[in-house]
């Protein structure tokens, strides 16, 4: 079997490192074209050398000389900056991992689709801000997008061989995050360290805080609507503290197909990496008798106002996702920097959506230009709100 040529955007991050872990275990199956990172130059250079990548790119232009020095004598090319990320995407590969964090992940992903091969999509912002554009680009170039988020991978796997018109509902599970059991009145004073401590998953800091606020789940609901083309009224969320059932798909004959697995991103990454085949993966095999039970409870919108905001975004459509994402990123920065409290994040996003909602701005066509413009307007409104309402 020929080797699969792969490029990993966000190689130094949590998803990127898990992807590299799987590639390292099957070295004859894969050839690495390009690895990209931002500030973690030593990790980027170490992996690029070890995997024999053709190219290593840092998003940070001022770190190019450091990257060059770290790669000296290895034969790996070094490059830097956002244009270099697009150039890396323009190099042919069979499989691209989109695992840059934030809206910056959209651009290399769009470029990579032009090869008509496979884009494994972890970056949530791509579908939330530009779902229709991403799917249309994939269609135009005959590329396939495979979801990497565990919930969407679960839905994707439950739908294999099924007729989408028989789907009645999709249930996305949520762990409930760090504050699932906190008394409601104490959540407003939660610290960054407390929010960044996830009960089940080991992930990057930003996504872990987004789990505590359920902004992460809100993004996933919007992604579900965009990727699978399912109406927002047919998408549900339920709190499932064990994080073992990742999603369920309900069909019109009453059957519910659940995807069950350990909370280890290497399952969803490995499924996408080997698709359409399944290969042995180094993830824990669940001992159901030992686990004993799966528990569920309602995802309360008073505890998790981000879920109600996601509904509003799904119903508005258009550029609402771009506004939501930008406001959320700005609010998260404000919380991490100590400018606002934990619950102020949802207030900030709600304010931005209220300010922009129902305006012609949000119903404009989803083009890259309009997304960038909406992103900037939403960030400005969010910053003003944070300045007025912050500590």
Enumerate binding residues for ligand NDP (CB under 6 A).
Answer: 10-16, 37-40, 59, 99-102, 104-105, 122-125, 149, 203-204, 207, 265
Closest residue to ligand NDP using C-beta atoms: 13
Shortest spacing between CB 126 and ligand NDP, in angstroms = 8
* C-beta of 101 vs 110, nearer to ligand NDP: 101
Residue 161 — left, alpha, or beta (φ > 0 → left; ψ -120 to 50 → alpha)? left
Q: Strand 297-298 relative to strand 235-239: parallel, antiparallel, unpaired?
A: antiparallel
Residue in 7, 11, 35 with CA at minimum distance from that of residue 95: 7
**CA neighbours within 13 Å on the CB side: how many for 200?**
21
* C-beta of 128 vs 377, nearer to ligand NDP: 128
Give the contacts of 58 (CB within 8 A, at least 6 positions apart).
Answer: 36, 37, 38, 39, 41, 44, 64, 67, 78, 79, 80
Shortest spacing between CB 45 and ligand NDP, in angstroms = 11
User: From CA 127, how far away is CA 226, in angstroms rounded?
Assistant: 7
* C-beta of 103 vs 351, nearer to ligand NDP: 103
* C-beta of 125 vs 361, nearer to ligand NDP: 125
Shortest spacing between CB 366 and ligand NDP, in angstroms = 19
Give the contacts of 55 (CB within 8 A, at least 6 positions apart).
Answer: 33, 34, 35, 48, 76, 77, 78, 79, 88, 91
Shortest spacing between CB 95 and ligand NDP, in angstroms = 16
Strand runs labelled E in 179-305: 235-239, 245-251, 256-260, 297-298
* C-beta of 12 vs 355, nearer to ligand NDP: 12
Cis peptide bond N-terminal to 316, omega within 30: no
* C-beta of 40 vs 339, nearer to ligand NDP: 40
* C-beta of 117 vs 208, nearer to ligand NDP: 208
* C-beta of 151 vs 344, nearer to ligand NDP: 151
Shortest spacing between CB 97 and ligand NDP, in angstroms = 9
User: From CA 86, how far away is CA 368, in angstroms rounded?
Assistant: 15
Q: How far is CA 252 from CA 154, 169, 255, in A?
A: 19, 9, 7
* C-beta of 59 vs 143, nearer to ligand NDP: 59
Backbone angles phi, psi at 233, to 5 degrees: -70, -15
User: From CA 12, how far away is CA 99, in angstroms rounded?
Assistant: 9
195-223 per-residue burial string, b: 16 or more CB within 10 A, e: under 16: bbebbebebebbbbbbbbbbbbbbbbbbb
Shortest spacing between CB 302 and ligand NDP, in angstroms = 25
Shortest spacing between CB 351 and ligand NDP, in angstroms = 23
Shortest spacing between CB 130 and ligand NDP, in angstroms = 13
Shortest spacing between CB 332 and ligand NDP, in angstroms = 11
């Amino acid at each position: 079997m020929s080797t699969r040529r792969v490029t990993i955007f966000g190689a130094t991050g949590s998803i990127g490192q898990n992807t590299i872990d799987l590639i390292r275990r099957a070295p004859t199956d894969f050839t690495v074209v390009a690895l990209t990172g931002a500030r973690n130059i030593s990790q980027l250079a170490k992996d690029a050398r070890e995997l024999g990548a053709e190219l290593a790119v840092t998003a940070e232009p001022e770190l190019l000389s450091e990257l060059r020095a770290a790669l000296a004598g290895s034969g790996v090319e070094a490059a830097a900056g956002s244009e270099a990320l697009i150039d890396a995407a323009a190099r042919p590969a069979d499989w691209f991992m989109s695992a840059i964090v934030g809206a910056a992940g959209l651009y290399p992903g769009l470029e990579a689709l032009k090869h008509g091969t496979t884009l494994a999509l972890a970056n949530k912002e791509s579908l939330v801000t530009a779902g229709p554009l991403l799917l249309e680009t994939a269609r135009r170039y005959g590329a396939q997008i495979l979801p990497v988020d565990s919930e969407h991978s679960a839905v994707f796997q439950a739908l294999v061989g099924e007729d989408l018109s028989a789907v009645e509902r999709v249930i996305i599970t949520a762990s409930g995050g760090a504050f699932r059991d906190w008394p409601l009145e104490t959540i407003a004073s939660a610290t960054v360290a407390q929010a960044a401590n996830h009960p089940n998953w080991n992930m990057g800091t930003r996504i872990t805080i987004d789990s505590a606020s359920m902004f992460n789940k809100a993004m996933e609901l919007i992604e579900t609507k965009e990727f699978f083309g399912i109406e927002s009224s047919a998408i549900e969320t339920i709190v499932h503290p064990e994080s073992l059932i990742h999603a369920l798909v309900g069909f019109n004959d009453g059957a519910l197909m659940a995807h069950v697995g350990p909370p280890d991103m290497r399952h969803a990454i490995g499924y996408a990496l080997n698709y359409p085949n399944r290969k042995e993966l180094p993830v824990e095999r669940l001992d159901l008798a030992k686990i004993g039970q799966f528990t569920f409870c309602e995802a309360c919108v008073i505890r998790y106002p981000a879920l109600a905001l996601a509904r509003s975004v799904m119903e508005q459509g258009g550029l609402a996702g771009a506004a939501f994402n930008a406001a959320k990123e700005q609010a998260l920065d404000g919380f991490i920097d100590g400018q606002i409290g934990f619950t102020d994040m949802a207030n900030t996003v709600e304010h931005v959506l209220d300010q922009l909602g129902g305006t012609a701005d949000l119903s404009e066509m989803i083009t890259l230009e309009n997304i960038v413009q909406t992103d900037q307007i939403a960030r400005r409104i969010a910053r003003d709100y944070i300045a007025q309402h912050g500590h």
